[in-house]
Structure 1
């Protein structure tokens, strides 16, 4: 209790036993023992220091778009970056964004200032911090192409690192395991009407090819070498396959959607079915892109 009181003094917005279903795209997840939404870097760094000193496990939450929280919840502190830490500014071809700023907000700022290159990432769910950590991308573009520098919290200090100090791979980066505070992105000057037209085309493409009308985590699996997870799943005849309230989307087999009353257990069961079916037919073991939060390791594949 003493630690919780300390957290409440350090961060204004703190809730206990907060249902994570209210903070994830999946609309799934049990309670977080502690939920905190820092409003500044000072609040954030103070909170992390308290958790580390008290040996409280913590999880940095972005927009809740690429995670599956267990039905039992998270027995630690969820630190929500997207609630308050979402400032953005533009200077010339540089966009500076807090880690909790959404990718859509960056895309809109780019359009407003006639900056091009970010169009393919329009509509990518999630925040700048999360996107950097996993090197988010879509339609042939990745955020690593635009990163100029970032501020991270490391060993109790705020550290600025340049692009040459970061490495990126497919849905991975050297920033994994670190706390990203903010990032500077560098784009190119463009023609506003052309940027807007391309952004609209990308959004229409998303609406036609992805089940954005239902709760999901986006792509569940990483793309296997020389193939596509969605195609392998579809070729196994798994479109429409259900486990409880979770279903493989009929629109895009790479998505597992919540049809209304899915549990995390339902989604996990369906993931296991998909992995087994694809492996048995194609001898390819799919790797999850979704991040599991609050699960016991032995319950995962």
Structure 2
């Protein structure tokens, strides 16, 4: 039985056409040491080299680029723990609009400063007591802004899927793809692209142990809410999967691996010391799942989406220093 899903492979291809020459086509890195440790050929798609330092630019630009000139002139609103904030702010600036971004008070300073640097107005809230969706929707309604959510939007999801599209174009015959899961937009887009091109590919999401809402939801067959996670992977501190993203992921994702905080730190150190790249905690979770043996029965050729690299030097040293 086939299911009519809200985002298609054609949508991802259309997003790729819009992003051509605007988003970076990020590199795919290899490491013989990694292959040896994992027991598979691993292909690492480095979205830490994407504009704003994370995959989020893909989805934000794809969505904002479809607004009318009148909508752009009024401006956009977004809510985010950091990377979508920067992406929406930059996309609005690139396309001649303005942005108001709702961000947690405890967002890493580097992400706050980068978002402001793209010209956005920032409104902060307490992530443990405030409702960012309600705040964002109220701001948009009050000021006549167009709300661009971080994952609950078909154009955002399709844009994120272009990361997997590029990886599959660059690397033949992938058997599995590991993707970080927060709200679920990246894996929803990547699974749409990957399963559309390689129907037998194994799609594996990765969450921090403290934030296993998608794993619980997939096992329950419905969206499950958990207490707001306290994890170093701030980009994955989701309490419930998105409704739209879950409607896709429940059909296309084959399983979820969980990683510990120590697993994440070890993966960040490995990437820095052996692969010479800086990745943020959320971006490190798929690598952490491989290095810690959290994925059983690994096939021969495995793709990994490293979702971002937005961690400042002091925070990196705090997390990974000896």
Q: TM-score, normalised by structure 2?
A: 0.25
Work out which of the two has the higher radius of gyration on C-alpha atoms and give 1 or 2.
1
Per chain length, whose mean CA-contact separation is higher, i.e. which structure has more relative contact order (CA < 8 Å, sep 6+)? 2
Point out the structure with the larger strand share: 1
Point out the structure with the larger helix share: 2
Q: TM-score, normalised by structure 1?
A: 0.26
